[in-house]
Amino acid sequence: MSDHPATSQTLTPRGAGILAEPEAEFGPDFVVPQHWDRYSPEEHAVWDRLYRRQAELLPGRAAPEFLAGLAALNLNRGGIPDFEAINRDLQALTGWSVVAVPCLVPDAIFFEHLANRRFPAGRFIRKPQELDYIEEPDVFHDVFGHVPMLTNPVFADYMEAYGKGGLRSLGFDALPNLARLYWYTVEFGLINRPEGLRIYGAGIASSHAESIFALENSSPNRMHFQLERVMRTRYRIDDFQQNYFVIDSFEELFDATYQDFAALYARLPGLATFAPEQIVPGDRLYQHGDQAYANSGGRFGNEGKSTSPV
Ligand SMILES: [Fe+2]
């Protein structure tokens, strides 16, 4: 399960109910069987509804690499995908695989999986009445949102490098910095294409409302990715982002991050952090947001309006 930046790594079983399992089911790597045969028709129907909604929305909004991955994995075979079927295709493409985990996993376990090209995914799915907002990532977020990009060789290498970097970071007091990098790229990253900005972050791509907000709303800032800037920028975990970082290419992302962060970690504690909406000298802006959404109270001040998060 991939909400590593949430930092509150409690071990609460996910999706209490049909797929809740005793802790004894998992070993030190937290991997469990997906138990695909245990999903109910209603649970499969939730996947199908979410899939249809995003598949209609994302052409022209998601990065071509994301859409190509979605097509390559054929995640629309009817209902929640069987991880075994995904893995046959994914392993052939980039050597990655998806493994089911029953709960949030500790950072070290999460990094270890990524470093070995395994993506830990939740296996429960949100309830029909929660289609538009979930507090914890479910199988739709983890598989629909994250796995398509793992078919892209450069992004696949970036994710492995992130895991290895995460393991190295455990000796430093740098987890919040590394979590920001994950948040603003893997979860909420945008890429600049000749035809316009496109989505590659899983947190956006798996969210109907944020897929629109991230690209079209006047509220958030959109600025070019800079590694140190990202690591110093706090983020929203409960609402749409107030800032999105934009890369020019996945090679740019990989090159910027494929380094030993030890010198950076040594420097960061002496540097100020930035508020999510803050603009500072040196920022390369695509949009200076008016922050109207956030200033009106965001999700909590806009309930019932068309811009509530998904
Ligand atoms: Fe995620």
Distance 2 CA to ligand 1 centre (A): 5
Tell me the mean pLDDT in the region 208-219.
97
pLDDT the model gives residue 148? 98
What one-letter code names the amino acid at 291?
A: Q
What's the rounded mean pLDDT across residues 215-230?
97
Residue 137 CA, ligand 1 centroid: distance in Å: 6
pLDDT of residue 36: 97
CATH code of the domain made up of 4-301 = 1.10.800.10
Q: Where are the domains of the chain?
A: 4-301
Provide mean pLDDT across the span 258-279: 93
Q: Could you tell me the distance, in angstroms and rounded to a whole number, from the CA of residue 216 to the centre of ligand 1?
A: 22
Tell how far the Cα of 281 is from the centroid of ligand 1, in angstroms.
Answer: 30
Query: Residue 182 pLDDT more than 50?
Result: yes
Which residues, in sequence order, are bridge partners of residue 221? Answer: 243
pLDDT tens column, 191-206? 999 999 999 999 999 9
- C-alpha of residue 190 to centroid of ligand 1, in Å: 15
CA of 238 to the centre of ligand 1 (A): 13
CA of 5 to the centre of ligand 1 (A): 9
* Strand bridging mode 118-122 / 97-101: parallel
CB 186 within 8 A of CB 202: yes
Q: 52: CA distance to ligand 1 center in Å?
A: 20
pLDDT band at 135 (very low <50, low <70, confident <90, very high): confident
Cβ pair 105, 120 in contact under 8 A: yes
Q: What is the pLDDT of residues 13-51, one digit of tens each?
A: 444 443 445 555 788 999 999 999 999 999 999 999 999
Q: Is 158 exposed, middle or buried (0-12, 13-18, 19+ CB in 10 A)?
A: buried
| Phi/psi at 186 (5° precision) | -60, -40
Q: For residue 187, how far is its CA from the centre of ligand 1 (angstroms)?
A: 6
pTM of the model: 0.91
